[in-house]
Amino acid sequence: MVNSLSGRFLILTVIFVMLAEVFIFVPSVARFREDYLLARLERAQIASLALLASDGMIDEELEYELLRNAEVLNVVLLRDATRQLILSSGGMTPVAHSFDLRDASALSLIRDALRRLATPENETIRVIGQPVNEAGLLIEITMPSEPLRMALIDYGLRILALSAFISIMTAALLFISVRYLLVVPIKRVVGHMTSYAEAPEDASRIIVPQGRVRELRDAENALQSMQTQLTNALRQRERLAQLGEAVAKISHDLRNILSVTTLMADRLEGSADPAVQRATPKILASLTRAVNLTEATLAFGRAEEPPPKLERVRLADIAEDVVENERLTSDGEPDDACITYTCDVPGDLVLRADPEQLHRVLSNLVRNARQAIAATGKPGKIRIEGREKETGWRIEVFDTGPGLPKKALDHLFQPFHGGARKGGSGLGLAIAAEIVRGHGGTLELVRTGAEGTTFAICLPAGLAV
């Protein structure tokens, strides 16, 4: 009960309501005491006026009756600047305290009321007040304090009983309201979360927002969005796993086919045709890379890229080979989509990397740039730059294409989230980024826009020999 939200709310509600009642109780008791004393002054004034009306011709027994009805011991009335003892019960008892109600502050009234409750002794007190209806300048009475204290206790008990009743009713109503508006909906949300955790791939277990409280409904909407995204991600992961198995099987068979094709292409080297002799090395190199790609695809189907086989390579050789391959590919493009390739890499720039994997990275970047420019139907430029820095090497691939679309930017370097061109899978950038990470470096997007796109490959100097 104490550890529950509703239980703690109930306890806090009772405490706060009781505190509020205490703040009401103290001034209420002070007001009751003031009214009690004013009533005694008024009764004493009436008794005094009755005595004055009879010119003092009443017997002693009637005088005692008037004092007993007024519940006072003595009455002093100031009239015409003359102070007169109008009524008296006899022997004068020493006065313990005097109270002037004519200009008493609220703080003094509260202090005197609490002091009277805390004083059990019966004392004689003097009360001074203003006569009603201008029946004199001042009226003064003496009275015992015990009846006043008993009246204050009786009134206080009634106030406390009423406060307790109000507190219980208020706490009960708030408890029911909080349980209905918050606790029950929260338990329902927790139940949905538990049910969803048992089978997150089941879309029927995604919560349907039903909260009437705005904050709770916002939480349900956020939970629904998170569960929907998670379910879609799990489904996509399952499809990717199935796709990986299928690709692995296809790559296995394709590797065998390409191996046979490579053997057949070897025979072309003996051809006397000059054109065939020039094309044969390119064909064999392409087939070799295709075989290596199928091997890498098999590894990617196992959710991992093979570790790079590091060796000393001339960056210019790899960059020029990539550019030559893409230039041959773009020969079939329309004349108005002519693409100019530039390789700005120092010939003596040597770095340590896996040549096949680095070739794949540059090929993916250059191919994406070529396809982006070709899609516009306008001429364009692609440039590969390589520089050596103190911290390592930096290779940039720049193009004058239209820039990456928002969809590609939102899921950059994530496989199967859509590529930079229509119909693309986005796998090329994901593979390139993973290969560069395997080299201990980073692949980053430097800039993109209407003026073009630039990607940068940064390899650390720690790879140097």
230, 314: one domain? no
385, 277: one domain? no
Residue-wise pLDDT tens digits, 29-66: 999 999 999 998 888 888 887 777 766 566 677 777 88
Lowest model confidence (mean pLDDT) among 129-133, 232-236, 407-411, 419-423: 419-423
Residue-wise pLDDT tens digits, 77-108: 887 777 878 888 776 678 889 999 988 888 99
With a pLDDT cut of 70, the percent of the chain lying above it is: 79
**What's this model's pTM, rounded to 2 decimal places?**
0.44
For residues 14-40, average pLDDT: 85
256, 332: one domain? no
pLDDT of residue 424: 47
Q: Are 111 and 99 in contact (CB under 8 A)?
A: no
Band (pLDDT 50/70/90 cuts) for residue 359 is: very high
DSSP 377-439: TS-EEEEEEEEEETTEEEEEEEE-S----HHHHHTTT-TTS--SSTT--SHHHHHHHHHHHHT
Q: Where is pLDDT greater, at 413 or 135?
A: 413
Band (pLDDT 50/70/90 cuts) for residue 465 is: very low
* Residue range(s) defining the domain that contains residue 284: 212-304
Q: What are 266's two structure tokens?
A: 């070897």
75, 128: one domain? yes
221, 297: one domain? yes
Q: Considering 139, 170, 201, which residue would you say is the last residue of a domain? A: 170
75, 132: one domain? yes
pLDDT of residue 303: 47
* DSSP-based three-state secondary structure for 32: helix
The amino acid sitting at 432 is: A
Whether residue 415 is contained in a domain is answered as yes
CATH code at position 258: 1.10.287
Whether residue 48 is contained in a domain is answered as yes
Residues 6+ apart with CB under 8 A from 49: 135
Whether residue 193 is contained in a domain is answered as no
Residue-wise pLDDT tens digits, 396-449: 999 999 988 887 787 787 765 545 554 444 567 888 888 899 888 999 999 999
> Pick from 18, 40, 38: which is nearest to 30 by CA?
38
Lowest model confidence (mean pLDDT) among 288-302, 324-338, 449-463: 288-302
pLDDT at 284 over 50: yes
Q: Considering 170, 203, 224, which residue would you say is the last residue of a domain? A: 170
Give me the number of domains the chain comprises: 3
Q: What are 405's two structure tokens?
A: 């679309």
Cα distance between residue 294 and residue 247, in whole Å:
9
How many other CB atoms are found less than 10 A from the CB of residue 208? 7
pLDDT at 242 over 80: no
Q: Considering 304, 325, 353, which residue would you say is the last residue of a domain? A: 304
With a pLDDT cut of 90, the percent of the chain lying above it is: 20
* Mean model confidence pLDDT for the chain: 80
Residue listed under structure tokens 């006065």: 95
Cα distance between residue 328 and residue 289, in whole Å:
16
Residue-wise pLDDT tens digits, 165-212: 887 787 788 778 877 877 888 888 888 888 888 888 777 788 888 877
16, 158: one domain? yes
CATH code at position 391: 3.30.565.10
Residue-wise pLDDT tens digits, 136-154: 678 898 999 999 999 999 9
